[in-house]
Amino acid sequence: MRTSADSYAYRIVHSMLRLQEGERLNVTAGPETIAFAHKVAHEAADSSGVPASLVYVENGRVESADEIAPTSGSPRDPEGEVMLHLAAFTPSTFKEEDELDAIHLQAHRLLADPVFLDRRISIPWAVAYVPTAAWAEFVHGPGATVDRLYLDLAEALALDEEDDHSATLEKVLSMRAEKLSSLHLRKIRLESPIISLEADVARGASIGTSAVRLPSGRFFYPSLPCEDLIIPVDCRSARGTLRASYPFRFFDRVIEDATIKVEGGRITSFESQYPGYVARYLNIDEEASRLSEVILCEELTRASRFKKAWGVPMLDRMRTSQVVFGGITPERITLGDESLLGVHGLNTSMARLEVPVGGHGLSVTGIDEDGNQVTIFKDGLFSC
């Protein structure tokens, strides 16, 4: 009988990585994810016909490396490489005296991806989180089991459905992105009972999905497939107010309610039950408090039913639309010269905070260079 773990492994290989025949999967895993890594490696080897590489890492050191061969047929020589890291959720503890460097920001899931325009990604590479006891307890409280968390993932990711709609969804979202790009929008406006926000659409960056498309045309998801459209904004321009619509992780806590005011692109007021945490975040660097992206995700998806915080931004993002403070998604940058990032208002902060603002009442309007308006989102659904 196929378990939720089996279905999750299948979804990672075929929907997220979109592994093709002849490609070798290289998996890294730690103590808490190694058992699941074997499931993924066997699924990859059997589907591609190429032995999968499984690297076991503990305390930052490579302890062993194994090769997982296909269960039938003669192994093929690899014709391409795919990388996957299977991560375990690790609870973090925030201390006032901690220096908020990259290590601590990563532990709190607040670290932005670095921007290196001269080192673009050339092969599929992804991260997937594996259910563990610590993660289950973060989501549901003491005593929660891994099985319960797998049931949550099965519901949010539709693991019980045989058909894979991710490729079709990516095409639809890409077509929407191309249409919006062709309109040469100058501004976007978000409006609902909990948000009133306007920002300039960024130059030097493109509207697109979370999927990464390589020069060859092959695409994959660097995290779990998301039904999202990313609109980069000029980090100097946003103005308005917003209130969080879902709980979200902030350092080692879950924020149940937050109200944020923005002027000149920067957070000027951030009301929550943890004001000390807010102060530390705002002082990480000059751009941590500046808006960088709007991520649109339709309501009424299966993931939107999950009202708790996953504690992992890449999964929390699936529940609803977000506004992003801090570092921009590097794949959305179209510039080739890093010296122009600041000129175009592209946010390169080392921190990144995604705040959920979506809901059935969310409407998003685009405004072009002539002042014409186009409705992008209406009542929480795409209308373009």
181, 207 contact by CB (below 8 A):
yes
| Statement: residue 216 has pLDDT above 90 | no
SS (H, E, C) 138-170: HHHCCCCCHHHHHHHHHHHCCCCCCCCCHHHHH
pLDDT digits (tens, 9 = 90+) for 247-260: 999 999 999 999 99
139, 147 contact by CB (below 8 A):
no
- Give the residue, 164 or 307, on which the prediction is more confident: 307
Domains, the chain, in order of start with CATH, read 4-88+120-156 (3.40.1830.10), 166-382 (no CATH)
* % of the chain surpassing 70 pLDDT: 98
Q: What is the pLDDT confidence band of residue 314, given thresholds at 50, 70 and 90?
A: confident
What is the reported pTM? Answer: 0.93
Please state which of the ranges 82-96, 111-125, 312-326, 351-365 shows the lowest mean pLDDT: 111-125
What span, in angstroms and rounded, lies between the C-alpha atoms of 175 and 177?
5
Q: What is the pLDDT confidence band of residue 227, given thresholds at 50, 70 and 90?
A: confident
H-assigned helices in 183-297: 275-282
Q: What is the mean pLDDT of residues 16-40?
A: 96
Q: For the packed helices 4-11 and 34-48, what is the interaxial angle rounded to 10 degrees? A: 50
| Statement: residue 177 has pLDDT above 80 | yes
| Statement: residue 329 has pLDDT above 90 | yes
pLDDT at 120: 64
| Average pLDDT along the chain | 92
| Statement: residue 231 has pLDDT above 80 | yes
Q: What is the pLDDT confidence band of residue 119, given thresholds at 50, 70 and 90?
A: low
| Statement: residue 118 has pLDDT above 80 | no
H-assigned helices in 55-145: 102-107, 133-140
